[in-house]
Chains A and B, each alone.
Chain A
Amino acid sequence: MKSIQKLLILLLSVAAAMLIGSLLILASGANPLEAYYYMVIRPLTSVNSLGEVSMYFTPLLLVGIGVSFAFHARLSNLGGEGQILFGALGMTLMGISPVGDVLGIFSLPVGCLLGILFGILWAAIAGFLRVRFKTSEIVVTLMLNYIAQQIISYLVFFPLRSGAEPQSEKIACALPKLSSSSRINWGVVVALLLTVAYGVIMKKTRFGFRLRTLGGSEKAAVYSGVPVGRYYFAAMAISGAFCGLAGAMQISGNTMRLMEGVAGDFGFSGIVVAMLGSLHPVGLVIASLFMAVLSAGSVTMQVKTGIPTSFTSVLEALIVLFILLGMALSSRRGKHRKGGKA
């Protein structure tokens, strides 16, 4: 498919979803223009609110890249939430332990690495079961989300609890800020650099080429000598690594404490980012930015117009459904045209 055509489909999908969304807003008695102003325009109007947008941008982009790796191998990593929670746990353990004091300024990168490792471990369960037992990674990753939620809940209610609230102690190692006037931090830069790395890996390395071959056709991959099992496992593990890092940064750059719900909706929104960005590095960045604006803006929208933030999930899901519709219709038309020529 031509990339201009693809872009057109993406833009039309966003427009169509927002149009349906505005019907919902109208039905609930609010003014769509006002609601969308708070949701889409307002977050971009001040340095402070841009900082809030960045709080959503970093995890969305990281999870989006993670999910994309899995999609390239035609795997569905629906376990972003669990992997984020485990990444957050890794960072927290480093941040509150005495080892962190010993490591000093190195405790932040080590904490991130621990978060990545934890994310990999949680995703590896699904990867292993898929490769060894052919168990559907779709159901397993989903189930692992529920299990991870309960593990984190247990940890913050009992062993890691500090004070009256079910949350951990404040961690010692924070991500350094980029500017003093808003909450934006270096996590954004790291996420952008990793996007470049993602692009290079997918386009320039043997690993990326083989992963795409595997996603195109498992048979073709087998015949061209790709160790299929190892590649499925690797795709899942890398996916978990990115989600784990998102979790680590969620702790060190945002909440500073481990608590329930620290993963937010990022696990599933990351899938929307991957679809909307159509797995392309630049696309992922734009999609994350758009979704981050929506998420940050929806909080203001809820306060000002009474429309609940869950409206964003409706919008997100509609966008992807319209993208799928557009892709299906245009590929069908393309096929007919080809058929006509032959």
Chain B
Amino acid sequence: MEGATLFNTVFLTALFSSGVRQSVPLIFGSVGDCVSEKSGVMGISLEGEMLFGAFFSYFFALQSGSLWFGVLMGAAAGMVSSMLVAAWSVWLRQDQSIIGIMFNIFAAGFTNFLNRMIFGTSNANISIETFQPIPLPLLSKIPVVGEIFFHQNILTYLAVLLAVLTFLVMRKMKLGLQIAAVGENPKAAQACGISVYRYRILCYLFCGCMAGIAGASLTLGTVGTFTEAISAGRGFICLAIVILARWNPLIAVAAGFGFGSIQALQIRLQVQGSALPYQFFVALPYLITVLVLVLAGHNIRAPRELGVPFERESR
């Protein structure tokens, strides 16, 4: 009996510890999307920006031998590529879902193209040493909880730190209020002298930067290499997390951990073998995303002008 309970604690600790690792890209992505959606721009292209971040962080980390330089370039790649989306959806006022999806096609094709041209098809999987876990002093000594939450790599801590900072800026500072005003009532915001375009574009660039780090956390934090379509729908799962979290970055951390744990469970059940076919487990996170959208998606107060282009000259 005692053996069984021990196994369970060990199993659960390993499961949730892996859940935290899986949640890192989701937290970066959804915190970024919280901000851009607050300002009124949907992050449908998160998926593609993640791919850009994943590829360029891996490429530059491999070339320079520095993981941090990789993360930096991943963030830059996410941000630069998001300029395209920001220009098209804010400045040109085009349909955000079409731009988002076209950008994702572009990102998938372009990173795939670069990957093939640079690394070829045969030796595509050159692995690099990923970020190693850093046990936090004292906190990591707490039984079970310490092992799960405070024995992680630096990107995990960075994700939570950025989420807290974002929360503080959005809730406690004037800047956060101004961003919310741009998303709720852009005309009134403009009348108060806030440049709606500038706020929306900058918020979107922040989102792209976060998505780039999310991609970097995939290649440099867990996988150690770039594979085609490595983001595997995580960008879209972030959109569901943001709705579930009601545009609150702190709740997004918790929701991201939830989705990360489902992902970790899925991988474990797949490896362990079970009566159910493994495809069921692969499909599980996507299925749960739909369920979350349906169950948590109503009675919500989304930013009023979310997804609606703003015309500066309109009266």
A residues adjacent to B (C-beta < 8 A): 24, 28, 76, 78, 129, 133-136, 138-140, 142-144, 146-147, 150-151, 153-154, 157-158, 268, 271-272, 275, 307-308, 310-314, 316-318, 320-321, 324-325, 327-329
Contacts and interface: CB of A to CB of B under 8 A. Distances in A.
B286 A147 contact: yes
A76 B294 CA distance: 18
Given A24-B113, A310-B109, 14 more contacts: A76-B97, A78-B97, A134-B298, A139-B289, A140-B290, A143-B236, A146-B232, A146-B286, A151-B283, A272-B105, A275-B98, A308-B113, A311-B109, A321-B99
B109 A313 contact: yes
A56 to B, nearest CB: 16
B93 A314 contact: no
Interface string B283-297: 100110110011001
B73 interface: no
A317 B109 contact: yes
Contacts of A136: 293, 297
B283 A150 contact: yes
B239 A324 contact: no
Interface of B: 44, 84, 88, 92-95, 97-99, 101-103, 105-106, 108-110, 112-113, 116-117, 232-233, 236, 239-240, 277, 279-280, 282-283, 286-287, 289-290, 293-294, 297-298
Contacts of A150: 279-280, 282-283
Nearest to A74: B95
B287 A147 contact: yes
Given A275-B98, A328-B94, A143 B109 contact: no
Given A146-B233, A316-B105, A321 B290 contact: no
B103 A317 contact: yes
B140 to A, nearest CB: 36
Contacts of A28: 113, 117
Given A24-B113, A314-B110, A140 B293 contact: yes
Contacts of A151: 279, 283
B97 A138 contact: yes
B117 A133 contact: no
21 contacts: A135-B290, A136-B293, A136-B297, A138-B97, A139-B236, A139-B289, A140-B293, A143-B236, A146-B232, A146-B286, A147-B286, A153-B279, A153-B282, A154-B279, A271-B101, A307-B113, A308-B113, A313-B105, A313-B106, A321-B106, A324-B88
Contacts of A139: 236, 239-240, 289-290, 293
A103 to B, nearest CB: 31
A259 to B, nearest CB: 14
A296 B84 CA distance: 29
A275 B101 CA distance: 12
A341 B157 CA distance: 59
B242 to A, nearest CB: 11
A139 B237 CA distance: 8
Contact of B98 (A153, A271, A310, A325): A271
Given A142-B233, A316-B105, A324 B283 contact: no
Contacts of B294: 129, 133, 135
A157 B277 contact: yes
A146 B277 contact: no
A324 B298 contact: no
**In the complex, which of the residues A76, A143, A314, A329 has the most CB atoms of chain B within 10 Å of its own CB atom?**
A143
Given A140-B293, A143-B290, A325 B88 contact: yes
B46 to A, nearest CB: 11
Contacts of B84: 321
A271 B112 CA distance: 20
Contacts of B286: 143-144, 146-147
**In the complex, which of the residues B101, B102, B233, B283 has the most CB atoms of chain A within 10 Å of its own CB atom?**
B102
A320 B280 contact: no
B102 A133 contact: no
A195 to B, nearest CB: 22
A317 B51 CA distance: 15
